[in-house]
Amino acid sequence: MATLRLGDIAPDFEAETTLGKIHFHEWLGDSWGVLFSHPADFTPVCTTELGTVANYSKEFEKRGTKVIALSVDGLASHLEWIKDINKTQHTTVNFPIIADEDKRVATLYDMIHPNANDHFTVRSVFIIAPDKKIKLMLTYPASTGRNFDEILRVIDSLQLTSEYSVATPANWKDGDDVVISTSVPDSEISKKFPKGYQQIKPYLRMTPQPNK
């Protein structure tokens, strides 16, 4: 299996989920997508993660982003686990969880790292653009829960930089100033960025976020 890299087309697949059978690319449609894996059902950190994603559902919707989870447990196990998630995290899980008992999807996305665990998936995150290309890959160990505020922040950055000739600096948050791409010559800045800009260095030019 070839190693997935940024810019690759996210592998397509069909799978059973807690919300019925899906064809992944068709399910994504024209949306952005987040695919994230979990070591196992009925585990404490995973329970908090899925509860957090459910509680953030409006934030993902606001960004036109669909979320889908995966573990190598079966559908019946997922459905029982959701009851625990809803009760303990005070939420309603309204996104699909893939049942990947044969590890087919986990293998497609290289989610099983044998030196960490030869059976369970690591905490993988893939952000996928509407053109089905992978825009971000993150891998967390089983012991560390993910920061979904950071995942939302990255989606904001990806969506902004896909529309404008900008990049986002360190610790950027939605609404902060952004970096003008080095491909934009000084002579074109006033036309592209009418809010003005600050030249700190010839290669470092800041401007207010253009879509705010």
In which residue are the tokens 């889908």 written? Answer: 68
202 forms beta bridges with none
The full set of domain ranges for the chain reads 14-146, 164-207
Residue 202 is which amino acid?
A: P
Q: What is the pLDDT of residues 42-95, one digit of tens each?
A: 999 999 999 999 999 999 999 999 999 999 899 999 999 999 999 999 999 999
Q: What's the pLDDT at 113?
A: 58
- Residues in contact with 69: Cβ distance below 8 Å, sequence separation at least 6, in sequence order: 35, 36, 37, 38, 50, 53, 95, 96, 97, 98
46 is catalytic: yes
The residue from 28, 34, 46, 127 that is catalytic is 46
Q: How far apart are CA 84 and CA 87, in angstroms?
A: 5
Burial class (CB in 10 A: 0-12, 13-18, 19+), 72: buried
Q: Please provide the CATH number assigned to the domain covering 14-146.
A: 3.40.30.10
